[in-house]
Amino acid sequence: MKKSLVVFSLILLCGCEGKENIELFPKVINQYDANKPTILASITPTYGGINTPFIVEGNFGDSLTRMKVYFDNKPAVLVNTNGCTIMGLVPKLPAGRKQISVVCKGDSVVTDSVTFKYEQTKSVKTCAGAFNDQKDQDGDLNTARFKEVSNIATVKGNNSDNIIAVESWWNSRVSLISPEDNQVVTLSTSHSFGTPAVDNTREK
């Protein structure tokens, strides 16, 4: 057993003797073909949201400073290029399918088949209330409390949106949360409400 352990250790040591040079900032070799026209061939991925890394492929040029990639009319932040690919980040856009175009040295190239489906991302954060502190309490956004909010909707305020919070079933409470006024006010406790409905103007 000891002999096999020594042999195994020697193999490991011999395997670790070779040095591997890892280049921290490798030089990008430009693959632009000056004999070909500017070409836009594809984009990867074909869908995503804000700040999604993307790569467009084609034949573009030799300098990132002379390149632009547009999603419809919105320019993207570009990170790097090797002449036949451009890497960048998707800008903030309205939801929907966007036409991709590339501008190199003043020439704009568009390919009908190269599009990007922009998907808006959503995030949720606590603007009032607190976890594990369930009670009915109006007040400012820090002191206000809720028992169990089942549905929410947003309506227009003066400068920002207000939130309607509905506690259905046994709680039967409707509250108005106003971030710009820093207040939570109970509107009703007499009915068991369901999902709030907001009209097209978002005012009612």
> 195 and 150, same structural domain?
yes
| Residue 166 and residue 150 in contact, taking contact as beta carbons nearer than 8 Å | yes
The answer to whether residue 93 sits within a structural domain is yes
> 191 and 139, same structural domain?
yes
Question: Quick one: pLDDT at residue 93?
Answer: 93
Q: What is the pTM of this model?
A: 0.52
Residues 69-96: tens digit of each pLDDT: 999 999 999 999 999 999 999 999 999 9
> 107 and 43, same structural domain?
yes
- Into how many domains does the chain fold? 2
Q: Which of 67, 102, 118 is the last residue of a domain?
A: 118
> 109 and 131, same structural domain?
no
How far is it, in rounded angstroms, from Cα 89 to Cα 71?
11
The stretch 173-188 carries a mean pLDDT of 90
Question: Quick one: pLDDT at residue 101?
Answer: 96
The answer to whether residue 16 sits within a structural domain is no
Question: Quick one: pLDDT at residue 23?
Answer: 61
Range of the domain at 179: 125-204
| Residue 93 and residue 74 in contact, taking contact as beta carbons nearer than 8 Å | yes
| Residue 76 and residue 57 in contact, taking contact as beta carbons nearer than 8 Å | no
Instruction: Please calculate the CA angle 189-195-200 and round it to the nearest 5 degrees.
Output: 115
